[in-house]
Structure 1
């Protein structure tokens, strides 16, 4: 498992969730608007939705035991230990078009999704 240094003494595992430059820019803008430098983007998988699992993206000030962290030009993305296998190789992007505005997740591990597109299995 690859690790990165967090601070001077602690090694933290990294994850394989990719953040596109557009998504990193949007997250950075949102963090600037929040006015807090202690927040990170947490990407998680939780039980729920029509297909059994849902994605969660939110800002978190905590780094918990077992979390994996990866830095994208100053934007830290955190994935918890249980979500890492579900999200390995997933790409988080930000879309701003006439049809859709928001974050999207392209996940090669998803076997299928529901009609609404909010959950997967």
Structure 2
């Protein structure tokens, strides 16, 4: 009987292999506080586009769709759609704040190459 209680029901979201650094999680929490919202999650997706074929999308989303995979990083929920999970497995999201650059960065071991701007990959 205990096996049926722990078996996935199909309505429980799956997990994904995307990692969120502590610095990035702090930045997301700060942005959510600025928005005054506690019902949003960080959605990470891969879509066709950019100069290398695929482009990353990072945005806040209040929806949780069928097939979404989720992971929690200290109260920050990161969601990846079913189609993007294989492209992002093992990817790390960080936040960089230097004199040269400020923003989220994605280190993706699945990318075989990227463009000079760093926003798209193949």
TM over 0.5: yes
Q: Give the corresponding residue for 1:98.
A: 99
Partners of 1:109 and 1:60 lie apart in 2 by 25
- Mapping of 1:66-77 within 5 angstroms? 66-77=67-78
SS of 1:15's equivalent? coil
CA distance in 2, matches of 1:116, 1:30: 24
**SS of structure 2 residue aligned to 1:27:** helix
Aligned-partner SS, 1:11 = coil
- What is the root-mean-square deviation in Å for CA atoms of aligned residues? 0.7
Deviation per CA, 1:60-119, whole angstroms, max 9, x where unpaired?
000000000100010000000000000000000000011110000000000000122111
Residues paired across the two proteins, number: 112
In the alignment, structure 2 segments of 5+ residues that lack a partner are: 1-10
**Structure 1 gap segments, 5+ residues each:** 1-9
TM-score (norm 2): 0.90
Give TM-score scaled by structure 1 length. 0.91
Alpha-carbon separation, structure 1, partners of 2:97 and 2:116: 21
1:103 partner SS: strand
Residue number in structure 1 paired with 2:62: 61
Rg larger in 1 or in 2? Answer: 2
Could you say what secondary structure the match of 1:117 adopts? coil
The answer to which structure has the higher strand fraction is: 1
